[in-house]
């Protein structure tokens, strides 16, 4: 762990990088996960490292979708485990939904380590060690999921997912909620609800919105009615364009 002075202007971002590097050392995160994070960071600059109005609306829809799901499942990969394990566990408890370890560059050892990390932090229902069902339309290794988890879910929260798998899950009739800073990724374009925000900010918002809506008499269906993911992604891009036009280029 590097010592980063708290006054450093990029303190938060540097700490996040450190967390990911530590998790590579611990066998939780893949090296490719670092590159994926870098791509995300570039988009975070474009959105001003803040939650956009359109992302807040998408998060609200996601909260309503998870609360009205019959069988929600929360997918956890190496970056998700490194960055937001606690929030994922809290969400899993609020929704009474299992977490499923679901990694792109899968090794059994890494899957076991992610499960152990989640359980050490208090997760009670972690799937993903028994891969006994196949997502249709994906080649063998990446297609395997848990029959009791993602395979039979109606709504899957799959943050930082890859475009192929997102599309395959949609083709199986599932609703997929993703969190991805890139509004142009295939995942963002394919998902039912795309939250274009940093995973740490998005998960905090999602947990607090689920808490708030769970105990209210609010009409959840109203949040889902008329939701158009494509229009939301266009709104994200418009917000980015406006921001860039107004950007003060002096430091």
Contacting ligand ATP within 65-124 (CB under 6 A): none
43 makes contact with ligand ATP (CB under 6 A): yes
Contacts of ligand ATP in 148-187 (CB under 6 A) = 160, 162-163, 179-182, 185-187
Site for ligand ATP in 10-39 (CB under 6 A): 36-37, 39
Q: How far is the CB of 225 from ligand ATP (least distance, A)?
A: 27
CB of residue 36 to ligand ATP, shortest distance in Å: 4
**Residue 182 CB-half CA count within 13 A:** 17
The angle formed by the CA atoms of residues 216, 219 and 223, to the nearest 5 degrees, is 115
The correct pick among 100, 146, 198, 239 for binding ligand ATP (CB under 6 A) is: 198
CA distance 242 to 90: 35
Minimum CB distance to ligand ATP, residue 130 (Å): 24
Structure tokens at 204: 């905090």
Distances (CA, A) of 38 to 41, 60, 90, 114, 195: 5, 26, 26, 21, 18
Rounded Cα–Cα distance for residues 194 and 157 (Å):
10
Binding site for ligand ATP (CB under 6 A): 36-37, 39-40, 43, 160, 162-163, 179-182, 185-187, 198-199
């Amino acid at each position: 762990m590097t010592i980063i002075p708290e006054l450093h202007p990029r303190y938060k971002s540097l700490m996040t990088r450190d967390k990911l590097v530590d998790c590579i050392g611990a066998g939780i995160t893949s090296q490719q996960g670092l590159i994926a994070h870098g791509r995300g960071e570039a988009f975070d600059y474009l959105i001003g490292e803040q939650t956009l109005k359109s992302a807040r609306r998408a998060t609200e829809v996601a909260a309503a979708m998870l609360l009205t799901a019959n069988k929600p499942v929360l997918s956890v990969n190496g970056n998700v485990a490194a960055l937001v394990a606690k929030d994922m566990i809290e969400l899993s408890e609020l929704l009474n939904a299992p977490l499923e370890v679901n990694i792109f560059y899968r090794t059994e050892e890494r899957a076991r380590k992610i499960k152990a990390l989640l359980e050490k932090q208090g997760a009670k229902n972690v799937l993903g060690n028994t891969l006994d069902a196949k997502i249709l339309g994906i080649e063998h290794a990446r297609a395997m999921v848990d029959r009791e988890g993602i395979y039979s879910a109606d709504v899957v929260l799959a943050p930082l997912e890859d475009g192929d798998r997102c599309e395959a899950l949609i083709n199986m009739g599932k609703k997929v909620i993703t969190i991805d800073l890139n509004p142009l990724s295939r995942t963002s374009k394919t998902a039912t609800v795309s939250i274009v925000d940093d995973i740490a900010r998005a998960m905090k918002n999602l947990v607090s919105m689920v808490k708030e809506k769970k105990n209210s008499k609010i009409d959840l269906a109203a949040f889902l009615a008329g939701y158009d993911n494509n229009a939301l992604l266009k709104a994200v891009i418009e917000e980015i364009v406006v921001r860039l036009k107004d950007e003060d280029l002096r430091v």
